[in-house]
């Protein structure tokens, strides 16, 4: 009969339920911490990649500002950890000159009178180890004679 009394006793049931609830909450908290840490890493990578992209964009803008000169854009530091140059990743120490792509003729204009220079600009930006390359083609804004060689 003492055995039946012991089975009917609810002493300790609240302790077991609270321990199980605490275990569930602990697992949930660890999962949230893991997810947050992962998301912080992703956002840091995105920030670094954007900084590299904007550094390459700065190289493109620098090349556009120096036109009609076709000189290379040397490696230039922006802030403390970003830089840009003209050319690809392997041309970091020996930047590439802007590339002449020949003539582009304006639609609707007399082809025999005016052509516009097409210029290729390749710029690379780097920030904290992330590298981004941009390549654009620009049509010169001043007409030149199609017989001019350069």
- Predicted confidence (pLDDT) per residue in 33-87, tens digit: 999 999 998 998 999 999 999 999 999 999 988 888 889 999 999 988 999 999 9
State the pLDDT at residue 106. Answer: 63
Place of tokens 């830089």: 83
Distance CA 74, CA 47 (A): 24
- Which residue do the tokens 């304006």 mark? 106
Q: Please tell me the predicted confidence (pLDDT) of residue 5.
A: 55
pTM of the entire predicted model: 0.68
Of 96, 16, 37, nearest to 63 (Cα)? Answer: 96
Structure-block tokens of residue 41: 């890493």
- The mean pLDDT of 83-102, rounded to a whole number, is 90
Percentage of the chain lying above the pLDDT 70 cut = 79
pLDDT at 6: 54
In the predicted model, is pLDDT for residue 25 greater than 50? yes
Of the candidates 79, 70, 46, 57, the one whose C-alpha atom is nearest the C-alpha of residue 124 is 57
3-state secondary structure of 70: coil
């Amino acid at each position: 009969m003492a055995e039946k009394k012991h089975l009917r006793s609810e002493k300790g049931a609240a302790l077991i339920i609270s321990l199980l609830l605490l275990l569930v909450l602990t697992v949930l908290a660890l999962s949230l911490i893991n997810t947050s840490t992962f998301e912080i890493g992703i956002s840091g990578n995105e920030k670094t990649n954007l900084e590299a992209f904007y550094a390459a964009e700065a190289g493109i803008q620098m090349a556009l500002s120096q036109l009609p000169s076709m000189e290379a854009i040397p490696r230039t530091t922006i802030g403390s950890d970003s830089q840009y140059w003209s050319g690809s990743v392997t041309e970091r120490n020996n930047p590439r000159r802007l590339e002449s792509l020949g003539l582009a003729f304006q639609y609707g204009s007399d082809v025999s009178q005016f052509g516009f220079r097409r210029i290729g600009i390749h710029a690379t930006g780097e920030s904290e180890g992330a590298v981004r390359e941009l390549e654009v083609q620009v049509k010169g804004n001043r007409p030149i004679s199609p017989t001019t060689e350069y």
